[in-house]
Structure 1
Amino acid sequence: MKKIGIIIIVCILVCIAGGSFLAIHLIRNVEFSETSIVREPLNYEKTEAFTSVHLDLTSMDVRIEKSSENAISYRLQDAKKQKQEYSVDHGILTVKETISNKHFVGHDDNEVIIYTTNDSLVVNGNLVAGDVEIQNLTMKDSRITSVSGDISIENSNLNNSTFVTTSGDIEFDGQLTGNNSLTTTSGDVSVENIDNVSVSASTMSGDIEIGDNEFSGSVNQVLGSNNATLTLNTTSGDIEIN
C-alpha cells in the first residue's frame, strides 16, 4: 500500500510539473508572438500637389490638416498583415489600406495623417473602424462614411458635404455654405459656433438641444440668416447645437 501511495504522489508531482512547463511554454509563445509584430514608426513623406483625396481604409484612423507642404505620414500596427499604399494621379491623392489576414484586429496605433497646402479639398472615402479628424480646412462636395469610427471636424468650413457614421459620434465646429448633412445611427451629434444657417434636426430616441432650448423628435430652426442648410440625423443619440 505504501508503494501505491508513493506512486500516486509521484504521478501528481509529474502532472503538476508538466502543467507548469506547458504554462511557461504558452506564455513564452504569447510573448514571442507579440514581440514578433513589426510596428512601423510614424514616417513622413512629401507628395505631389493634390486637390482631392480618396480614402479606402479598414482599420486606420485618418487626420487631414492644413500645412506648409503636401505630405503624408502613417503608422501600421502589423506590417506583416497590413499594407498601406498611396499615389497622386491627376491631382487626386488615393490612400488605400489592405489587410492580408481576415482575422486581423485593428489597433489605435493605425493612423494616416494627410497634410495639404490647399485651403479647400474634395474628400471622399469609406472607413470601417477608423476615426476621422479634420482641422482648419474647407471641405467641398465631399462625402465620408465610417462604420464604427467617430468624425471630428474642427475650425473648418463645410460646403455641400456629407459625413455619415453608424456607431460613432460626430462633432463639428466651424462655418457652413451650401447644403450639408451629418448623420449617425447610434451616436451623438454636437455642433458648435454655427450661424446663418437653416437647421433641420431629428432623432428617434434622443434629445435635441439648441442653445438653452430642448426638443424631441424633430425640429427646424433658422439661426441667423438662411445662407446655408444643415441636416442632422441620429436614431438613438442626442443632438446638441451651441
Structure 2
Amino acid sequence: MKKGFILLFIFILVCIVGGSFLAIHLITNVNIEETSIVKEPLNSEKIDNFTSINLDLTSMDVKIEKASENAISYRLQDSKKQKLDYSVEDGVLTVKEIISDKHFVGHDDNEVIIYTTNDSLVVNGNLVAGDVEIQNVTLKDSRVTSVSGDISIENSSLNNCNFISTSGDVEFDGQLTGDNILETTSGDLSVEHINNVSISASTTSGDIEIGEEEFTGSVNRVLGTSNATLKLNTTSGDIEVN
C-alpha cells in the first residue's frame, strides 16, 4: 500500500512538471510568433510643390499634414498584388492605388502619408476601406468620400467642403467659412471648437447634443454669428457639438 502511494505521488509529480514545460513552450512560441509580425517599412520620396490633391484609394488609409517639405510616404501590404501610382502635374498631386488581384483583402498596414508645405489645399478623393486623417491644413472647395473608413480633421479649417462616410465616424476640430457638410450613414459625428457658424443637424435614430442641450430628430442653431454654415447629417448615429 505504501509503495503504491509513492508511485502515485511520483506519477502526479511527473504530470505537473511535464505540464509546466509544455505551458512554457507554448507561451514562448506565441511570443516568438507575435514579435515576428513586423510592418513593412515606409517608402518615402520628396515631390514637387502642389496645391491640389486627387485621391483614388481602395484599401489604404491616407494622412495629410503640414510639414517643412513636400513629400509622400507609403506602406503596401503586398507589393506583388498592389501598387501606388503618384505624380505631380500643374500643381495637382494625383495618388491612385492599383490592385491586380481581385481577391486581395487589405488591412491596417496599408497607408499613404502626404506632407505639404502649403497652408491651403484643395482635396478631392474617393476611398473604399481606408480612413482619412487631416491635420493643420486649410481645405477649400474639397470633397472626400469613404465607404467604410473614419474621417478625422484636426486643427484645420474648412471652406466650402464636403466630407462623407457611409459606415465610419466623422470628427472635426477647427474653424469654418463658407458652406460645409459632414455626413455619415451609420457612424457618429463629432465637432469641437467651432464658432460663428449656423448649424443644421439631423439624425434619424440617434441623439443630438449641442453644448449642454439635447435634441432628437433635427435642429438648427447659430453659434455666435452666422459667418459660415455647417450641415451635420447621420442616419443611425449620434451628433455631438462642443
Deviation at 1:139, TM superposition (A): 0.5
The 8 Å contact of residues 52 and 121 in structure 1, kept in 2 or not, is answered as: yes
The 8 Å contact of residues 206 and 239 in structure 1, kept in 2 or not, is answered as: yes
- What residue identity is the alignment partner of 1:100? S
1:12 — aligned with what? none
Q: 1:30-109 counterparts in 2 under 5 A? A: 40-109=40-109
Distance 1:206 1:131 in 2: 23
Deviation at 1:39, TM superposition (A): 6.9
Distance 1:127 1:43 in 2: 21
Deviation at 1:40, TM superposition (A): 4.4
- What residue identity is the alignment partner of 1:144? V
2:120 — aligned with what? 120
Distance 2:40 2:90 in 1: 29
Q: Deviations over 1:62-90 (max 9, x none)?
A: 00000000000000000110000100010
SS in 1 for 2:155: strand
Q: Deviations over 1:33-73 (max 9, x none)?
A: xx9xx974202100000000000000000000000000000
Q: Deviations over 1:129-185 (max 9, x none)?
A: 000000000000000000000000000000000000000000000000000000000
1:156 — aligned with what? 156
Q: Which runs of 5+ in 2 are unaligned?
A: 1-35
1:201 — aligned with what? 201
- What residue identity is the alignment partner of 1:108? D
If the length of structure 1 is used for normalisation, what is the TM-score? 0.84
Deviation at 1:189, TM superposition (A): 0.1
Q: 1:132-147 counterparts in 2 under 5 A? A: 132-147=132-147
SS in 2 for 1:44: strand
The aligned length equals 207
The 8 Å contact of residues 40 and 78 in structure 1, kept in 2 or not, is answered as: no
Q: Which runs of 5+ in 1 are unaligned?
A: 1-34
Query: After TM superposition, where is structure 1 displaced by more than 3 Å over at least 4 residues in a row?
Result: none
1:172 — aligned with what? 172
1:183 — aligned with what? 183
The 8 Å contact of residues 39 and 76 in structure 1, kept in 2 or not, is answered as: no
- What residue identity is the alignment partner of 2:233? N
The 8 Å contact of residues 39 and 79 in structure 1, kept in 2 or not, is answered as: no
Distance 1:64 1:147 in 2: 19
Is residue 223 from structure 1 mapped to residue 209 from structure 2 by the alignment? no
The 8 Å contact of residues 131 and 146 in structure 1, kept in 2 or not, is answered as: yes
Distance 1:214 1:133 in 2: 28
Distance 1:40 1:89 in 2: 29
Q: 1:9-48 counterparts in 2 under 5 A? A: 40-48=40-48
Aligned sequence identity (%): 79
The 8 Å contact of residues 171 and 191 in structure 1, kept in 2 or not, is answered as: yes
Distance 2:226 2:121 in 1: 24
Distance 2:98 2:194 in 1: 38
